Amino acid sequence: MQTDFSRLPDRRGTGSLKWEKYRDKDILPMWVADMDFTSPPPVIEALKEVSSRGLFGYTVPTSLDTEAVVAYMSRRYQWQIQPEWIVWMPGLVPALNTAARAYGADDEAVLTFTPVYPPFLTAPGFQGKRVQKVPLVIDGNRWTIDLEAAAAAVTKSTRMLYLCNPHNPVGRVFDRQELSALYGFCLQNNLLIISDEIHCDLILDENCQHQVTAAWSPEIAARTITLMAPSKTYNIPGLSCSFVIISDAQLRQQFQRASRGMITEINIFGYAGCRAALNEGEEWRQALLQTLRENYRLVYDTFCREMPDLGMLPMEATYLAWLNANPLGLSNPVAHFEEFGIGLSDGTPFGFPGWLRLNFGCPSHQLRLGLERLLAGYRAAKSI
Ligand SMILES: Cc1ncc(COP(=O)(O)O)c(C=O)c1O
């Protein structure tokens, strides 16, 4: 069985969060980070096998699940982890919240670089912490970290850095030079690093390599909480299976204590899907990357040629393009583009009002239609 990446699965009426938003409307959903491709065949087979057994009791991770994660980290990142470092979670949003609860005193602060995946900005506040937002800056034609601004923002009460790398939504894979400076800053300011690397297996630019934060040095590993999941890469977010890797025993215990009674167990389908994706998903991932790279080219070329003032910059990872609609002077850019039949994510919860995020994880014909509609909306806004 091969996945046909040119076929659009019919997701209407399936309870898909992405598609239900525009139920019965002619609006193409290109918002939430969930792709319109079927999942890897080995995942589908593994779920069928679980289903055929008919046993759906409470489930704990088996050594096969743990070994799949350990082997994957070694194979892909030459990162040697121990099975006991893994804390399974039903999602990384709960993990971001658990970390905010686990570490530091009330009213201490979390520093993060904006724009960023919205739960980075909400989780600290939900757990009684403050957020210190430091905007990423554009340097030439790439987004980068402004460490001078970070140094100006950091205070004695800053306890953690929430780092997103590869970065959602700007699509950067931070390079060794940027990371070296950033990690130096974290050591200097005694910050824990909550490193969300969920997009690490979606690298578009073949010249880039993902650097696992905790694999940087023993010093950095000792202050890092790594968040990962097969959900984005293998398109299984609805299976609710993620994991957090913490090598420091004390930090791990604090994290586990903070989640007690709050976090549900992962279900049997989640473990089975995760294991199959990590162990047998590579061929599918390579085919996916080929499709996403072609889609990215189309998106980038279209914006550069037809809509240059939306300021799309080259991307290195993810299937999420970040666009500046401010030059269009619209009071509600999302609503404007919905009128032209395309549903995008609003930049406001990412900390950047007036910006938009476009999900291009879909078959190319669907993407072309989306881009045509976007262009129609753009031209209308500019009265051309
Ligand atoms: C950076 C980042 N972290 C976490 C998540 C959500 O992860 P989960 O579905 O495991 O809660 C997303 C989803 O888009 C994301 O982009």
- pLDDT tens string 174-191: 999 999 999 999 999 999
User: For a substitution probing ligand 1, which of 168, 228, 357 has the most ligand atoms within 8 Å of its CB?
Assistant: 168
Q: In this model, does residue 80 exceed pLDDT 80?
A: yes
- How high is the mean pLDDT of the chain? 97
The confidence score (pLDDT) of residue 384 equals 80
Nearest to 125 by CA among 110, 115, 112: 110
Average pLDDT over residues 260-278: 96
Tell me the H-state helices in the chain: 17-20, 41-53, 63-77, 92-102, 119-126, 147-153, 176-188, 218-221, 249-259, 268-280, 282-306, 333-339, 364-382
Best substitution site from 117, 163, 320, 322 to test ligand 1's pocket, by max atoms within 8 Å of Cβ?
A: 117
Distance 329 CA to ligand 1 centre (A): 30
Tell me which DSSP letter residue 166 carries: S
Residue 124: the pLDDT is 98
Q: Please report where in the chains the tokens 């980068």 appear, as a residue.
A: 144
The ranges assigned to domains in the chain are 17-41+282-382, 56-280
The CATH classification number of 56-280 equals: 3.40.640.10
Q: Tokens 């990384």 — which residue?
A: 92
For residue 105, the CA-to-ligand 1 centroid distance in Å is: 25
Residue 35 — very low, low, confident or very high, per pLDDT cuts 50/70/90? very high
Contact between 227 and 196 (Cβ < 8 Å): yes
Find the residues whose C-beta lies inside 6 A of ligand 1: 33, 91-93, 117, 164, 168, 196, 198, 229, 231, 237, 242
* 226-239 pLDDT, tens digit each: 999 999 999 999 99
- Intrachain domains 17-41+282-382 and 56-280 with the same fold: no
User: Quick check: 280 pLDDT over 80?
Assistant: yes
Q: CATH number of the domain at 17-41+282-382, please?
A: 3.90.1150.10
